[in-house]
Amino acid sequence: MEFDFEKPVTELEARIKELKTLNTRSKGQFATELVQLERELAGMKTRLYGTLTPWQTVQLARHPDRPNIKDYTAGILSEFIELHGDRHVGDDQGIIGGMATIGSLKIMLIGHQKGRTLDDNLKSNFGMANPEGYRKAMRLMHLAEKYHMPVVTFIDTPGAYPGLDAEARGQAEAIARNLLEMATLKTPVLTIITGEGGSGGAIGIGVGDIVLMLSNAVYSVISPEGCASILWRDGTKAPQAAEALKITAPSLLELGIIDGIIPEPDGGAHRDPAAAMQAVKAAILKYLPELQKRSIRKLVDLRYEKYARMGQPAK
């Protein structure tokens, strides 16, 4: 899958691939031209991906080949034991979680799950969690609190599921309860936005002591399409809405909504998933020990103050 704005890059990559084949067959006849084209490709990537518009960033954040939480559990953890169910209704696959080992750290990992196949997406509801998912997440956080394990949450959702059945089972209450209880959870919480950070569905597992974003992730109160349909009654104005929403990692860092940015490989995490996942692992191993040095009282006080300040006008 490629986007229109990426065509110059993909066309040049295809040309280089073809030339490499010819170069091998001709015993190095095209070596000089290959070096020039690869240098040209590197410059093109730097220019293109270093100046993405907010809407282009949204497109990359939604790429179906970005690493999902199951990729991370397989790629950066030495151990993962998935835990199921909310102990009330059922086991929502829109959010998965469990006890994990990363490096020498024992953690509780919780995150949204997006599938790649239609069957997987139907199981996970395209990453839109139901109330059972948020209640399961909270159950696992309390378990982590009990056993003094830090919590790491991965956010990648277009939003919580807005269906009538989800509302009937208390979607708003489940998210609100999570915000309340995460604000005073007596264990470190590290949140990483790996793709889409959509509205209440994102912050329902996103009240962290430290919040990080992958460089091509997005985080907003509403999708650009939803914003455009409300403000202009025209969903095609989504690119303008994305600009106005300050949806990208650099904008959110400047506003103080997030605390840091994890760089992605050129072209996005989907182009080199292994490198992207290792960058996330390095961030976890850097920030969690810092949080664990703080007293629980200071940790909770600073977390509460962090979210109480959000939205206040700058003095």
Q: What percent of the chain stands above pLDDT 70?
A: 98
Chain segment 117-167, per-residue pLDDT in tens = 899 999 999 999 999 999 999 999 999 999 999 999 999 999 999 999 999
DSSP string, the chain: ---GGGHHHHHHHHHHHHHHHHHHHTTSTTHHHHHHHHHHHHHHHHHHHTS--HHHHHHHHT-TTS--HHHHHHHT-SEEEEE---SSS---TTEEEEEEEETTEEEEEEEE---SSHHHHHHHGGG---HHHHHHHHHHHHHHHHTT--EEEEEEES-S---HHHHHTTHHHHHHHHHHHHHT-SS-EEEEEEEEEEHHHHHTT---SEEEEETT-EEESS-HHHHHHHHTS-GGGHHHHHHHHT-BHHHHHHHTS-SEEEPPPTT-GGGSHHHHHHHHHHHHHHHHHHHHTS-HHHHHHHHHHHHHHTTPPP-
What pLDDT shows up at residue 165? Answer: 93
Interval 20-62: pLDDT, tens: 887 777 777 778 888 888 888 888 888 888 889 999 999 999 9
pLDDT of the residue at 206: 95
Q: What is the mean pLDDT of the chain?
A: 92
Say if residue 314's pLDDT is above 70: no
pLDDT of residue 315: 64
| Beta-carbon count within 10 A of 51 CB | 8
**Residue 79 pLDDT grade (very low, low, confident, very high; cuts 50, 70, 90):** very high
